[in-house]
Amino acid sequence: MAVLCLDCHNETMIKGGFGRKLDFEQIVLYRDDWYRCVGNARASNDDSHDDDEPLHDATFATTIAEIYREAENYEALARHYNLIGNVELRDKYVELAIEKGCDPETFFYLRSIQQKTELIPESVLKELFTALSDKGRRLARGRFQNKLGKHVEATSDYLEGITNRLAQKRYFTAAYYLKELSQSGLIDRLFERALHNAEERKDLWWQIRALEELGRYDDARELILKNEAEILRSEDNLLFRELLALAKGDRAEWLEARKAIARTGN
């Protein structure tokens, strides 16, 4: 099963340590965290354990690969080589896994780790979207939509899925996906859309605010200075006066603008 499938309804229960039972969702979350931890260990520059045997060495790579190779588990091999950063072998086993035949979720996952979702046939995307349309799979669909660049739809699915998990008191899963959402880049994508919409409306204020939220302060300053004449014509807009003073580095004017704003009770 591909890593994409993080929120499947699978009734299989597996016993863990101390008699604990893990459902499918928990197992895959642990697996994802393992891949992330090992990947971080590979990228780490921490010299505090120089004398220890490295966690992620050639022995690990070859031993695990051989287990997957004997089982002809090409998907796992592609995932394994993606983890250790061997792009050439990853791509070799991606093609072998697809040639051997795989379900839509696996197909999508394999192309997504290559960052080649454009190679996925439309029929596969439609089949996968249908499979993820069940209400209980909103989180998996959110990740799917994000990888396709459907940022608004992805955000909506993430939020609906997280809200459902909170209602079910599944706090770990809710927190896990809330963290994933915050790291997904979707927030910036929405601010970019807000910027585009403000540009179309010629709404200077919201263009500036979107640029600020995106961390594009130099662009915001340039936009303010470019529109100085328009801002000065809007004498009642004290916030614009403050922004213009800041952009020009005019401390005296900025102080006057702040005083005026304070007098309004803000």
Contact 83, 35 (CB under 8 A): yes
Residues 6+ apart with CB under 8 A from 258: 242
Q: How far is CA 85 from CA 39, 50, 114, 180, in A?
A: 9, 21, 11, 22
Cα–Cα distance for residue pair 261/254, rounded to 1 Å? 11
> How high is the mean pLDDT of the chain?
82
Cα–Cα distance for residue pair 253/255, rounded to 1 Å? 5
* Per-residue pLDDT tens over the stretch 207-236: 999 999 999 999 999 999 999 988 888 766
**What percent helix, strand, coil does the chain show, rounded to 5?**
75, 0, 25
Cα–Cα distance for residue pair 200/224, rounded to 1 Å? 17
123-131 LR contacts (CB < 8 Å, sep 24+): 128/104, 131/104, 131/105
Cα–Cα distance for residue pair 196/258, rounded to 1 Å? 30
Q: What residues does each domain of the chain span?
A: 227-266
> In the chain, where do the E strands start and end?
14-15, 21-22
In this prediction the pTM is 0.70
Task: Compute the average pLDDT of residues 44-55.
Answer: 50
CA torsion through residues 69, 72, 73, 79, sign: positive
Task: Compute the average pLDDT of residues 104-117.
Answer: 91
Give the per-residue pLDDT at 208.
94
Contact 109, 4 (CB under 8 A): yes
Longest dimension (CA), the chain: 77
Q: What is the phi/psi pair of residue 260, to 5°? A: -65, -40
Given a cut of 90, whether residue 175 has pLDDT beyond it is yes
Flag the least confident range among 16-25, 198-207, 257-266: 16-25
Give the per-residue pLDDT at 91.
94
* Per-residue pLDDT tens over the stretch 158-170: 999 999 999 999 9
Tokens of 193: 């859309």
Most confident of 16-25, 170-179, 237-246: 170-179
Helix (H, G, I), strand (E, B) or coil at 22: strand
Cα–Cα distance for residue pair 139/136, rounded to 1 Å? 8
Helix (H, G, I), strand (E, B) or coil at 124: helix
